[in-house]
Chain A
């Protein structure tokens, strides 16, 4: 317990991972005895603040490893650094903010909540997203929003190859260039209701881009409906 000390400046409980295990940290966060935590010296450790339930606020100072804030359900997690693979994967609700860059599969399979990556996100950002909102301040890598099912992905920079490949539903907004669109992903008109939705997402993320600068992409809906004339092929 020596590593856990009250912080009079922020009234947050400080947990120094140079002295305390991630397992201990997560057990504390799953049944929290405080409302705010500061995590120090993450040094790329995996699964920091994974599995939060309810309203707890966690600030991580430094770079985190894989699956940071995974399965988040109601927590508010801010990483003052970069994160490894699968940040906020399968998030149900709450907010996860990464001040730096995110590795692959950011927000993968997320059902809800808001993930903000202020820097760039690598490949497969929002893969199989199921209702999560993701706002990326920079670029996203190839195969982002692969098989996306629901939710919104906002990219303020450029998108790599195969954006939205095999997308079911989900709305994708990209401000910069899209290298290529994936199978069944098409550009769609940015209607007033989309600009309004986008403005809300950008405001939630704390970004002040003009929604009119974005283009919208989504499903052409030609892949996932069974077509009777294809029945002979099965």
Chain B
């Protein structure tokens, strides 16, 4: 199964409530993937202050802040927030510099996101408990998404959790399975793309990131994904200013979208949307097969 929820806020008055709304949505899809969950939040200044980059890493060793600080001479305020299996490291440098510093400070640790606006959390266990571990309810921001995973082709680990964030401020979550991921992984590797896992969804994320890096927008990247990938998928992809949904031609993996003037939301099931403010007046519909639905901040 797997469960997906995503919320793109249009009304800044709701920004302080992003985490609370996202937690409510996540808890409604807990049964769709009760073993692990990942969350992404855009614009949470507690964890990623203005002017900082943030890097999420699956490493909770003590002294990480000092170790990263040693890699960044002259940078005094390295902020590390640990939430379960994930540490979010923030510092006033570029995302690429911070990724290098984190990799040097914590060799072998898996970097699961980087950007100037994005924080990602991953862990195993019940999604409701993980939401508390991540202090999701305390998060503010303008966009967020979450995924509960029913693992199929790789193990139940924090690393296997979605979202897959492989480009700065980018995320992709997937319900389904890609059939030809090995072929496309090989093609991307031949182009020099590095992979962190054997997970099929990572291939989708790497493909989208490669297209975005070539200048495509999210809409075009996902349309190309539909042409190249076989299998079953409902995807939610986000960037530093975008939010997009697409399903495969057969569309057996569920998805529902609701829109109001204040927000756009998508989820695997309506019940995840039932608690959103103003949902009674929302335009609610199911995305059609192989049609990309995209919104820009």
Contact = CB atoms under 8 A, between A and B. Distances in A.
Nearest to A142: B289
Contact of B254 (A82, A85, A101): A85
Contacts of A148: none
B251 interface: yes
A159 B269 CA distance: 24
Contacts of A104: 251-252, 254, 286
Contacts of A44: 28, 269-274
Q: Which interface class (under 10, 10 to 19, 20 to 34, 35 or more) fits B?
A: 10 to 19
A43 B269 CA distance: 11
Contacts of A43: 271, 274-275
By size class, the interface of chain A is 10 to 19
A103 interface: yes
Q: Which 8 A-B pairs have the closest CB atoms?
A: A44-B271, A43-B274, A44-B270, A44-B274, A122-B286, A65-B271, A63-B270, A84-B270
Interface string B250-281: 01101010000000000001111111000000
Interface SS majority for chain B: loop
Given A44-B273, A82-B284, 20 more contacts: A43-B274, A43-B275, A44-B28, A44-B271, A45-B271, A46-B271, A63-B270, A65-B269, A65-B270, A84-B254, A84-B269, A85-B254, A103-B286, A104-B252, A104-B254, A104-B286, A123-B251, A123-B289, A142-B251, A142-B289
A217 interface: no
A46 B254 CA distance: 14
16 contacts: A43-B274, A43-B275, A44-B269, A44-B273, A44-B274, A46-B271, A63-B270, A65-B271, A101-B284, A103-B286, A104-B251, A104-B286, A122-B286, A123-B251, A123-B289, A142-B289
Interface string A124-150: 000000000000000001100000000
A103 B252 CA distance: 11
A66 B269 contact: yes
A43 B28 CA distance: 10
A150 to B, nearest CB: 24
Contacts of A84: 254, 269-270
Interface string B52-69: 000000000000000000
Contacts of B256: 103
Find the residue from A43, A66, A101 having the highest chain B CB count within 10 A: A43
Nearest to B255: A103
Q: Would you call the interface of chain A mostly helix, strand, loop, or mixed?
A: loop
Interface in A14-67: 43-46, 63, 65-66
A123 B248 CA distance: 13
Nearest to A44: B271
Interface in A174-199: none
B33 to A, nearest CB: 16
A82 B270 CA distance: 10
A197 B174 CA distance: 45
A63 B274 contact: yes
A65 B254 CA distance: 12
A122 B286 CA distance: 8
Contacts of B251: 104, 123, 142
Given A82-B284, A122-B286, A142-B289, A103 B271 contact: no
A101 B285 CA distance: 9
A65 B269 CA distance: 8
B98 to A, nearest CB: 40
A44 B270 CA distance: 6
A55 B252 CA distance: 34
A182 to B, nearest CB: 13
